[in-house]
Homo-oligomer: A and B are copies of this chain.
């Protein structure tokens, strides 16, 4: 006896979620079919919608439904500052501090040579192109304060300084070893104010 094929397929598909193993996937599948078929249908639609409608902003690379995201096209943002973050989640976190009014570039990753993630994989060419904007005065590196984030910041810093840009890094008010997404906004605000040239 085996579980019916569509149930097996659903369990298998749920394992694509990060950190979800065979047991959890089965628990998710059974829960949805037993107790929340409406939720399952809703999730199916949300996934299709997101995959179809979410793309990357052509300027800053963040998730958006538009060709150019709302932040990049806002006249209220200061075009002389560019904050480089690893993920859209990090960008949201910086926004929540209300301590920054410039623009962003989202790497969608970090340098990680051991995992085969080099400058090409995180699209550094696009960042350099973006950084050629004559309105730009300063690039603020807000990658995570992990080893990989620091290495990424260092690498990007070298490249941008060589192009004559002022480059700064969030101050080490942020606890070393932690990820932006999990730090409280006031700590990030402090680090934004104390950013230093590198």
Contact = CB atoms under 8 A, between A and B. Distances in A.
Interface of A: 1-7, 9-10, 12-14, 16-19, 26-34, 36-37, 39-54, 63-65, 70-71, 87-89, 91-92, 95, 108-109
Nearest to A14: B43
Stoichiometry (number of copies): 2
A7 B91 CA distance: 14
B1 A46 contact: no
B39 A13 contact: yes
Given A13-B39, A33-B50, 16 more contacts: A1-B71, A3-B88, A4-B53, A6-B46, A10-B50, A13-B47, A14-B46, A18-B27, A18-B28, A34-B109, A37-B51, A41-B51, A43-B47, A44-B45, A44-B48, A44-B51
Contact of A47 (B41, B51, B89): B41
A197 to B, nearest CB: 27
B87 A34 contact: yes
B88 A10 contact: no
A65 B2 CA distance: 12
A127 to B, nearest CB: 16
Q: Which of A17, A27, A63, A91 has the most CB of B within 10 A?
A: A17
A57 to B, nearest CB: 10
B10 A46 contact: yes
Nearest to A77: B1
A26 B65 contact: no
B6 A54 contact: yes
